[in-house]
Amino acid sequence: MADTTGSSAAGNCLEKLKSYVKTQKGFILAAEILISFIIIICYAASLYGGYSAVAICEMVFAMAFFGIFMMELDKQFLLVNWVWSDLFRAGIGAILYIITSLICVIGGAGDGARIAGGVFGLIAGLLFAYDAYTIFLQIKSTRQHTAASTNDGV
């Protein structure tokens, strides 16, 4: 018979998922994944599907970082500086979303799905920029705490 009193690995992962989405970083990453998926759908319905490459890449990167931070793998794999990697991911995502979305909104006359994808892309660009800003504030606060210690021993 199976032991039903212990927690299963799937239940533990689901609990981690629920608790991580309730944090600010988890909510932002989940919103990035969701809006990227919406943009992929809009661009897939458009006549020009090539703009979906940015949304696909950013959704995959956001999912990867969501999984890494949710499972707390960033505390186990110290070879990579996860905070700086996340800052570059969010910053580059904001820039790429804003550029491609402006191109789609400006040149999308007659293609409603392309314009809708561009508008959602502008919202995603702002969301990614906000994520980069919060990460920057986190880096700045940790740098101030570590830089304050001086060794005045004689």
Predicted confidence band at 1 (pLDDT cuts at 50, 70, 90)? very low
pLDDT at 73 over 60: yes
Q: Phi then psi for 79, rounded to 5 degrees?
A: -65, -30
pLDDT at 44 over 50: yes
DSSP three-state, residue 101 = helix
Q: Within 13 A of 102's CA, how many CA atoms are on the CB side?
A: 7
Q: Which of 109, 100, 67 is nearest to 86 (CA)?
A: 67
Residues 6+ apart with CB under 8 A from 138: 83
Predicted confidence band at 150 (pLDDT cuts at 50, 70, 90)? low
Maximum Cα–Cα distance across the chain: 75
